[in-house]
Amino acid sequence: MIGLFDSGHGGLTVFRALTRRFPGSRFLYLGDHENAPYGDRSSAEIIELTRTGVECLFDQGCRLVILACNTATAVACRTLQQNWLPHAGRPGCNILGVVAPMVEAATQTPWAVTTPQYPQKYNADVVAVFATTRTVHSDVYTEEILKRCPKAGVMQQACPDLAGAIERGESDDVLNALVESYVRELVAAAHPRIPHWAILGCTHYPLVEMHFRRHLPDATRLLSQPEVVADSLEDYLTRHPHYLTEDHEGLEARLLTTGDAEEVARTVKPFWSDAMAFRTIS
C-alpha cells in the first residue's frame, strides 16, 4: 500500500492521478487538517508534523509514502530521508516528495544526477516557478534546478492568495484574475525573456491549470504536478516493483484526516466533487 501525506487536501489532485494510473493498487491519503496550514509554521514544526504523519501512514501498513505537499517536501523531505528514516526502525520503507519529479521534468535530468552533465550543463532555459510563499522562500526549486542546469534562469513567483481562494471555492472569475496577476508579474520580471517551462509548484494549482495556460505565453511548456508525479512514480515502481503490490482485498482507496471529517468533506468539494468519505484519525 502506498501512502500520501499532505497538510490539508491539496494533495488530493496527486492522489486522484495516482489512483487512476495504478487502478490495481491500494492508496491511503492522510490530510493533517488539524494543524493546517503549514505555511506559517517554523521549519522544526513542519518537520515534526510531517514525521508524525509519515509514521502514521507506516503504522497503517504503507511501505512507501509520498509527501503530496510542496511545503512539507521542501522543508522536511530531505531531513526525514537522511536523518530520521535510517534510524526509525522501518526496514523496507521509503519517503518520496513531489519536488523531485518537477525538477527532473524541467531539467530533463534524473534526480540522482546532482552535478552538471552534458548537454544539460549548457541548458539556458528560463524556468518559471509558481508556488506558495513558503515554498518560494525555501528556494528548493532554484537550488535543485541550478545544480543540474547552472546556466538556466529560474524565476519564482509567490502566489500567496491562490491556494486559499481555491479552497474557499471562489468563483472562476476571481481565480482567473488572481492567476492573471501572478503570471503578469512574473512575465514582466522576466522580460524580454520568455519562460520555456512553467512549474505549478503547489498541489492546489492543477485545479486552475487552465487559467495558467490562458495567460502564459504560448511557447511556455506547463508542468502540472499530478501527471508529472504519476509519470515519475511509474518509473520509480518499474525500478522498485516490491512497492507495487496487486492487492484485490480492500482495494478501495481510503482518505484519513486529523481534523473533523464532516467539515473536511464540505471543504473538499472543489478538489473532488464526488470524493469518498474521510475518516478522522488521531
Q: Interhelix angle for 140-148 vs 99-107, to 10°?
A: 40
The sign of the torsion formed by the CA atoms of 12, 18, 19, 21 equals positive
CA 175 to chain centroid, in Å, comes to 20
User: Is the peptide bond between 37 and the residue preceding it cis, with omega within 30 degrees of 0?
Assistant: yes
Residue 55's identity, in one-letter code, is E
Residue in the block written with cell 494510473: 21
How far apart (Å, rounded) are the C-alpha atoms in residues 211 and 22? Answer: 28
Catalytic residue of the set 62, 93, 159, 202: 202
Q: E strands of the chain, at which residues?
A: 2-6, 27-31, 64-67, 94-97, 126-131, 153-158, 197-200, 221-224, 254-257, 278-280
C-alpha cell at 203: 498541489
Catalytic residue of the set 56, 69, 77, 93: 69
Is 202 labeled as catalytic in the residue annotation?
Answer: yes
Phi-psi category of residue 93: left, alpha or beta, with phi > 0 → left and psi -120 to 50 → alpha: beta
Cβ(122)–Cβ(92) below 8 Å? no
How far apart (Å, rounded) are the C-alpha atoms in residues 17 and 225? Answer: 9
Is 159 labeled as catalytic in the residue annotation?
Answer: no
Residue 215's identity, in one-letter code, is H
List active site positions.
69, 202
